Structures are given as structure tokens and as C-alpha cells.
Structure 1
Amino acid sequence: MHAKSSSPGSETRVLIVDDHPIIREGMRHLLNLQGDLHVCFAAASTEEALAAMACQPDIAIVDISLQSDSGLDLVKTLRHRHPNLPILVLSMHDESLFAERALRSGANGYLMKLEATDHVVSAVREVLAGNIYLSAAMHEKLARALMIPQERSKGPIASLSEREFEVLHLIGLGFSARQIAEKLNRSVKTIEAHQANIKEKLDIHSGKELMRFAIQWIESQ
């Protein structure tokens, strides 16, 4: 169980939202080592995160892959309810595929978990300063996209929900429905329902065709 801790008023209060206990506690420890940062709450779910807003965090770090909901749906909710709250998205997913979607959802930055240990403190400080945090490569990619208008965002992929988008990405990486269910802490039946919705929205008629589409989509990014 996670509870609010007392902290001096001069410290920046951080809310962590991640459904993996090791990630939560590791992040808490790392941030609390900084003299000016204090984790006021480490939430495991959307419900806990929304309740934890009582600790009045100065920044939220939100994982995309929450057990009950997509973290990006939580980002949208937080952005709607707390327009001025800086939000940093933390994810196991490839930045090149998910960062733009995270920013459109209302995040102020995107950090891959593989880089979190080395960069989370600098990412937090960058977002707190009012800047967008992305890797240098992703900054360049988005800059190029702004210079060359693309219709991709208006295509059928844009119709996918955040969770469907996540499932499509994992399909493209070669994971089976059972493996995706394990990664996202969901039932196989739920993942299969997401796959059925994806196929309907993308006008795809078989599992093999869906996998081929997902792989080609990832490679095209």
C-alpha cells in the first residue's frame, strides 16, 4: 500500500504511476536521492493516481502500460483536470512509434524505460522547466515531420484506441496474444478482443494479415 509522505515545502513533489512494484520503488529511490525532488506518492493504477492528486504533485511520471487502462488515457484525464501539471510519460515502447501520440495526449515528455536510470532526473528537470523532453533523434524526426506535411496521422491507425495502438505495436514485434496478455497484465481473451477490433478498423481479415501489416507499419516509421 502506498501512502503520502511528509516533505518540506521547498521540495518538488513527484507522482509516479506504474503498475510494476520494482519500477515504482526504484524510481522513488532514485528521485528521492536528489536534494530537491520528493516522491509524494507512487501509484499502481489510474484510480490510485487520481486519488493521489491530493498530494498536489508538481509533476507526474506516467507509464503507458497500466494494468487496468492505457497510461495515455490517464494522461488525457490528468491534462483535462489539471491543465498546468507537467507530465512525463515512461514506456517500454519504441519512442519513434509512441512519443508523438503521447504528446498529442497531453504529455510534456517521453522517456523509454531502457534509458530511465540514466536520464529520468534530467527528463524531470527539463519538463519542470517548461520544455518538451524527447531524445535528440526524436526531436529531429518531429522537426522533419513538421517541415514535410504527412497524411499518416489521418489514416486508419489514428482511429485505434491507445490500448489497440499498443497491442498493434506488440504484434509487430512478433509477440503472440498470450505473450501480449502477459506483458500488459490482461487476459488472453481481452487481447484477442483488441485484435478483433484492430482488424475491423484496419479492414484486415486474418491474423496473418494483421501481423504482416503490423511489421510493415513498424518498419515504415
Structure 2
Amino acid sequence: MKPPSKSENKAAKGCKVLLVEDHPMFREHLGNLINRELGMSVCGEADNIRDAMRLIHETSPDIAIVDITLRGSSGLELIKDIKAQKLELNVLVLSMHDEELYAERALRAGAKGYITKNEASTEVVRAIRSVLQGDVYASRRMTAKLLERLTRKRVAPDLAGMETLADRELEVFQMLGRGSSTREIAQSLGLGESTVETYRARIKEKLRLRSAAELYLRAGQWVRDQGA
């Protein structure tokens, strides 16, 4: 008889799930959904990178479900930290952010899947199980878009220019859209104010914006459109 696979062993013992999400109500809903599933249980919850990393080391979860927007930072940075520390942890991103812009970034950072919060609960569970089995999860819509980009190199009009932003630039752009000042962004991300100013200048150049007013206007509209 063939010995059970690693994924089968996990299923038999029960898979531990870490939730990294900054909205308490959604975190509670997601926790209830997971705890109802056979062979799954929530082993911890966090809304920021520091607490998430502490829980990863304390609880050794099988999978972390991570939002892009976290308190004080970005889920992308958490995913990069997990990869940099060579931790054996599957990561599934569950976010409201446009998957056409963020899914590829998340996968490059080390995530094993990306799903948006407007998907049905059954699809979220399917994504979790898919990643736990060692597969990479992407929605059919996202897979089709990625293939189209590879073959036609077309970008949606509302994303034009956004793809050129580096991950940290995108994070700063989002914080600007929420009305954060340079000092507030610097304190939140642990950067110098001059570094934030450099990011602002690069963003303006890449998005072809002429003034700080245009930058804040574009960033604010982006945040509203993304529901972030």
C-alpha cells in the first residue's frame, strides 16, 4: 500500500489556518467559515505583520490567509518576509483589491493563490483546499486575463500606468489615497521622510502626474475604486 501523502496526512490531523486580516468583522466571518469545515481550524488571528510573524512561529500553521491591506503595512511585505525566512507555509491572498493588478504581484512575492472577497464562500474554501494540496489557485477570470496579457500585451484603461509601480510605491500610493501625510507614511512603514518623498516623485513620474494635487486626486480615486 502506498504511504499517505503530506497533504493527506495534514487532512487527517486537521489543517491549522492563520488569518491575517485587518477588518475584525470579516475576520470573524472567515473564521466561522473555516471552523465549520471538516479538517480545518483557525489557530490564530492577526491584523499586522509583527503579530502575524509571531503567530507563525508559535503555532506553525499549514496555511495563512492574508489580506493585501494590513494595519500599518501591506500583506505583500508579509509574504516576502515568509519567503525570505524560508518558512514552510502556504499563503493564500484574500482581498478586495483588483486581482488583475495584485494577483501577479502576490504570486511573485511567494503566495500560492489569490482570490477576491466578492467570491462565494464555497469558492473560498475550494481555494484554501487547492493551495493545501500543493496547487496554485487563480480564478478562471484571472487565468484568462494573464493569458491575454501574455499574448496581446493589453492593459485595462483603469490600470494603465499602475503596473509600472513597484510594490512599495503602490503601498505609498494607497496610503496617500487614504489621506496620509509624508510623515505618517514614514512612521507607519519605518522609512525616512526623504525616502517617502523619493517614492512620491517616482510615482508622479510613472503616472505622468504634474503636481502633488494631481497625485492626491488620483490616489484618492484609486482607493475609492478599490474599496481600500
**TM-score above 0.5, yes or no:** yes
Give 1:75's aligned residue: 79
Gaps of 5+ in 1: 1-7, 172-176
Query: Secondary structure at the residue paired with 1:19?
Result: coil
TM-score, scaled to structure 2: 0.71
Give 1:136's aligned residue: 140
Question: 2:211 matched to 1:206?
Answer: yes
Give 1:160's aligned residue: 166
1:144 Cα deviation after fit: 2.7
Change (3 A) 1:80 1:212: closer
Change (3 A) 1:158 1:33: same
1:101 Cα deviation after fit: 0.9
Give 1:190's aligned residue: 184
TM-score, scaled to structure 1: 0.73
Indicate if the aligned counterparts of 1:41 and 1:52 stay in contact, CA closer than 8 A.
yes
| Distance in 2 (alpha carbons) for counterparts of 1:78 and 1:108 | 12
Which residue identity lines up with residue 34 of structure 1 in the other structure? E
Give 1:58's aligned residue: 62
Q: How big is each residue's C-alpha offset from its partner over 1:115-150, in whole Å with a ceiling of 9 and x where there is no partner?
A: 263421111011112112111111011123334568
**Identity, % of aligned positions:** 38
| Distance in 1 (alpha carbons) for counterparts of 2:14 and 2:108 | 29
| Distance in 2 (alpha carbons) for counterparts of 1:188 and 1:115 | 35
RMSD (CA atoms): 3.4
1:48 Cα deviation after fit: 1.1
Change (3 A) 1:188 1:48: same
Query: Secondary structure at the residue paired with 2:146?
Result: helix
1:36 Cα deviation after fit: 0.7
For residues 13-92 of structure 1, the aligned pairs below 5 Å read 13-53=16-56, 54-92=58-96
Change (3 A) 1:128 1:141: same
For residues 81-160 of structure 1, the aligned pairs below 5 Å read 81-115=85-119, 117-148=121-152, 158-160=164-166
1:91 Cα deviation after fit: 1.2
| Distance in 1 (alpha carbons) for counterparts of 2:210 and 2:113 | 36
Gaps of 5+ in 2: 1-10, 155-160, 187-192
1:207 Cα deviation after fit: 3.7
| Distance in 2 (alpha carbons) for counterparts of 1:95 and 1:170 | 19
Give 1:174's aligned residue: none
Query: Secondary structure at the residue paired with 2:13?
Result: coil
